[in-house]
Amino acid sequence: MKFFDTHAHIGLINEDPIDQLIIVSEARQAGVQHIVSICNNLQDFFQVYENLKTANYIYHSIGVSPSEVSHPGKDWERKIIEGSAFDRIVAIGEIGLDYFRKFGNRDSQIELFIRQLELAAKLDFPVIIHNREAGSDVLDILTEKLPPKGGVLHCYSEDWAYARQALELNLYISFAGNVTYRNAKNLHETALNMPLDRMLIESESPFMVPAAYRGKRNRPSYIGATAEFLAELRGLDSEEMADILYNNACRFFGIQE
């Protein structure tokens, strides 16, 4: 079976560039053919990109997450434009809103989010969306500002009613290891009912480790456990589900194989 990890914070798993290469090589041995590397800020993006530039199966997203709203960096828009021209850049993100951590204030988060959505439209990229306790505002903004290439709600945490609204837009929904948790009934309902062709998976490494690996620091190589859970939930053969998820990711990120 082959897997596509659509969201991994490789730079947070280990800051040593040699160990980062070991981690992604380990993932390949576990059937993870591609990984999208996610960084919350631009300084980390450029460093991780440099560390992994020889790993041609690693793709990258560039953007400023809501956690950085108070310090997005000097000339951040220009740096996103410049960085987006690098090889294997497939999305703008992660971007969005986080009202749980109360980064900056809501108005400043919303402004940063909208400016990057507009930038994604200008640069012709899809977006990777972070949403934590900001579901209503995220959906309202995406209804008006989602770029033509669409987006993915990463590490989905809302319920099926919210998903139905989101799926009316050009959005995919990505499940992380938390979908495997026994008490995640809202995620189970969503994963059971949503269209298979709009579903993605991610490791969200080093966070959201699947239940089978509880107590460990998450790694992209563990993503097979998430795919296996979804296969059982949907009553599908494991290899069939893995193929569906893999092909969905290639289609969303515009990767030709």
Task: Please say whether the dihedral angle defined by the alpha carbons of residues 60, 64, 65 and 71, taken in this order, is positive or negative.
Answer: positive
The response to whether 7 counts as a known ligand-binding position is yes
The response to whether 71 counts as a known ligand-binding position is no
* CB crowding 159-195: b at 16 or more within 10 Å, else e: eeebbeebbeebbbbbbbbbbbeeebebbbebbeebe
The response to whether 34 counts as a known ligand-binding position is no
Task: Please say whether the dihedral angle defined by the alpha carbons of residues 257, 146, 93 and 129, taken in this order, is positive or negative.
Answer: negative
The response to whether 9 counts as a known ligand-binding position is yes
Which of 217, 208, 210 has its CA nearest to residue 157?
208
The response to whether 94 counts as a known ligand-binding position is yes
Q: Which residues contact 90 (CB under 8 A, 6 or more apart)?
A: 36, 59, 60, 61, 125, 126, 253, 254, 255
Binding-site residues:
7, 9, 94, 130, 154
Binding-site residues for a divalent metal cation:
7, 9, 94, 130, 154
